[in-house]
Amino acid sequence: MKTLTSILVPIHPEGYRFIAIFAVLDALFFFVSPVLGWIGLVLTLWCAWFFRDPARTTPQREGLVISPADGVVNMITRATLPPELGMGLEERTRVSVFMNVFNCHVNRMPTAGIVKKSLYRTGQFLNADLDKASDANERHSMLVSLSDGSDMVVTQIAGLVARRILNHANEGDSFIAGERFGLIRFGSRLDIYLPEGAEPLVAVGQTAIAGETVIADLASEEPERDVNTQ
């Protein structure tokens, strides 16, 4: 029963129509060829798995920054904030979490706060694993104001096969840590620009779980970890 429960997780509403399309095509494939039908069935099951939306237990202590995405921490670097936010050439520590097509793509707010800006920008669809994807690719950036007066930037970045960013966070909306705010379809990346002075508590190559993995602790004095650790 526990194994069955772990498989039959809720599906994000955005996925229902895609699963239906895959299922219809699969039925046609079976009509043409049993081999194609079985391939179509595997793809249909993958589509359902891609749009899964499992429950997560998010630590709520003030100061914790939680991963907004499932995936691998593929970059930790200093970078300027997205220019559409109008914050000049200020640099912050940026933690990037890359999501492949097998990761859960539901995005969650990394910390409690109020969305001050929520802006979409068109762009290219380069491989989201590349550093230049932060500047070149289609993206949706949010400036989130925290209770201590600092702020954080969270950016959804479309990838090579991703073709739509969903973001339902409006300016003025309040969120708690771990609350869902959007989704990106089929491979992408999340960038978290930490408040100045915050040190990441993850390392490059580390697997992150949305709503659970602690990216940083704004109240901690623990030194920065070696970002080159694999």
Token duo for residue 209: 């779980």
Torsions phi, psi for 135 (to 5 deg)? -95, -35
Note whether 145 and 113 are within 8 A (CB). yes
Tell me the three-class secondary structure of 22-41, residue by residue: HHHHHHHHHHHCHHHHHHHH
- Helices marked H in the chain: 2-7, 16-32, 34-50, 133-136
Q: Is 188 a catalytic residue?
A: yes
Could you give the CA distance from residue 125 to residue 43 in angstroms, rounded to a whole number? 23
Q: Determine the Cα–Cα distance for residues 166 and 211; give it in Å rounded to an integer.
A: 18
CA nearest 177: which of 54, 53, 48, 62? 62
**How many CA atoms, within 13 angstroms, populate the side-chain half-sphere of residue 15?**
23
> Could you say which of 33, 141, 188, 220 is catalytic?
188
Catalytic residue numbers, as ranges: 188
